[in-house]
Amino acid sequence: MSEDMDVDQVLNGREEVVDEPVKTTESKLENDEIEESEENGENSKQSDRILLSNLPQFGHQQFKKWLEKTCGSMKFRKLTLFHKKAYVSCHSHENAQKVIGIINGMVVKKLQITAKLAATEPTKRILQKLHTTLSQAKVARLPRKNELPDILKPIHSSPRTKNYRNKCEFTVGRNKESEICVGFVGGRFSDNEYFILPVGDVEHIGSQAKEIAKDFESFVKESDLPPFDEFKRVGVWRSLTVREFACDVMLIFNVFPIQDKDKEREAKEKLKERYLTLRSFKEQKFRVTSLYWMNLVSNHDQMNAEHLGGTEHVYETVLNCRFRISPLAFFQTNTAGTNVLYDLIGKACGFEKYLKPSEDEKPAPLNPEAEDPPAKLMKVDENSKMEIEPEKKKDLLLLDICCGTGTIGICILKEYIKKLDRKLFCIGVEIVESAIQDAKKNAKDNLLEKDCYHVAGKAEDVFRNAKYYLPTTMKMETSQVIGVLDPPRAGLADKLIRGIREMSQMTRIVYVSCEPSYPQVMKNLADLCKPRSRKFDSDPFTLVSIQPVDMFPQTPHVEWVITLQR
């Protein structure tokens, strides 16, 4: 339990998850100080969470029954009751507005209840957790808790909030009635319960992906190969991955290895016949351009995808950059939101202060016909003359760390390289060799291969050799380095954190995280900001801003763009 938690919350707080629980990593009650400072903030505009104030004395079951009776058939995700106030989480922003319309101003036991939108719960809780982590690390210049909302910027919404996912993974199995089903996992292994739920009308998945899942369910039913049974470890069909972009659709069939190779070949041919023939284009409500087959004994196995037919890659465009996507390559699951995210990352790098002046901002030329007499020059002793050289503009080096297929660095280069008043170069670093090959191809396709260099290896090793990857016109010693970190969920290793801090030319870091509540992410941020020590014998960074981006509409999760500077 947090030491800063209000005693009243501990005594009176009650929390219950109803219907479909939110997947979060913590269940701590929030600090009132943060709650009050964010209730009326920008972060609440698209919230599905309501604050009810001036409530009469309710027991938890009492409150739940009153709410159900008052709001009729409305369902709630979560109820959190405190003394004289409560937080109610609905299934959508629209439902929250309806509940507010019903309850706000209602008089119960001579008390008039107020109902209004509250900031999304995960954002506040993660912010509190981050402050606690940084405090324990004895970080200098750490804002007070009531100053945190000033660092936390308003959430940027996704241009698309429905049918936005470009990657969907459907599990093959059996439903509660033991019928073959392609959809999502229900139940828990720990309860010895495992079944598949149909896709249904979930709003974040497009109609084409739903049709493909429905059609593949029919294919499995017609097949003489059964679905894979997770408990008995027998069967074949495990899952279907649909990667859907503007003009391309890639299907990846994950199977438990088939011992009979003749049956395996027959299954592959049937898939190609069903999804890659002209007949399938005419008869079905979807269009598939690429097929892959992947044998998988365990989820922890190294993945190798076998190309069955169609194109080997699919393509997507972000911020006027075209990217090649391999079957196993990472790509953001919300393309429309990615345009917003990458634009904000570029701005967080601080390049806008180095923009070339526009035509309107350029100084006007001197008029030789001006009637004003020439200014008198002050006499200067010859011995006192000094040569004053203008300050040389530092070149800019963008380090795209954990770059994957190079999408962030390439988008930033495309946006800024011709607009800046100085040289900009990008070095992309990634441990996965296949991703680097895609990054090099993407740079070439976007005519930026001379403005960046992508290298496979450990980032801390690349840092030591960075000067060898620069063009001959740039020097590492006189360049200003900006780092962009988009690490996996496990975060960054200590060696890499030390390497970043030891690079004295790096003045700014933009840390991107889709799971900011993860302990390893919190640790990374604390290690970057810790004072000098034996372990980190270099200047620390300071937390400047946190910019949330709603990359996952219809869920409580947000992506964080965190800016640090020194």
Q: Which residues are catalytic?
A: 514
What does the alpha-carbon distance between residue 130 and residue 420 come to, in Å, rounded to a whole number?
Answer: 35
User: Is 306 assigned a ligand-binding role in the annotation?
Assistant: no
In the sheet that holds 306-310, the strands lie side by side as 195-198, 180-186, 167-174, 237-244, 249-255, 290-295, 306-310
Q: Which H/E stretch holds residue 227? A: none
Q: Are 469 and 463 in contact (CB under 8 A)?
A: no
- The closest of 83, 99, 94 to 29, measured between CA atoms, is 83
Beta bridge partners of 180: 174
What does the alpha-carbon distance between residue 342 and residue 316 come to, in Å, rounded to a whole number?
Answer: 14
Tokens of 126: 């993660």
What residue type is assigned to position 501 of the chain? R
Phi, psi for residue 150 in degrees, rounded to 5: -70, -30
User: Is 486 assigned a ligand-binding role in the annotation?
Assistant: yes
What does the alpha-carbon distance between residue 327 and residue 169 come to, in Å, rounded to a whole number?
Answer: 13
Q: Are 556 and 122 in contact (CB under 8 A)?
A: yes
User: Is 266 assigned a ligand-binding role in the annotation?
Assistant: no
* 121 CB-near residues (< 8 Å, 6+ apart): 22, 30, 49, 78, 87, 89, 556
Q: Where are the alpha helices (DSSP H) in 300-358?
A: 335-348
What does the alpha-carbon distance between residue 502 and residue 493 come to, in Å, rounded to a whole number?
Answer: 15
Q: What is the residue whose two structure tokens read 């945190």?
A: 148
Q: Give the chain's radius of gyration (CA, Å).
A: 28
| Cα distances (angstroms) measured from residue 215 to each of 177, 209, 248, 285 | 20, 10, 18, 10
What does the alpha-carbon distance between residue 46 and residue 320 come to, in Å, rounded to a whole number?
Answer: 28
Q: How many residues does the chain have?
A: 566
Tokens of 285: 């409500």
Q: Which H/E stretch holds residue 51? A: strand 49-53
| Cα distances (angstroms) measured from residue 258 to each of 226, 238, 328, 353 | 11, 12, 22, 59
Please enumerate, by residue number, every residue annotated as part of a binding site for S-adenosyl-L-methionine: 332, 430, 486
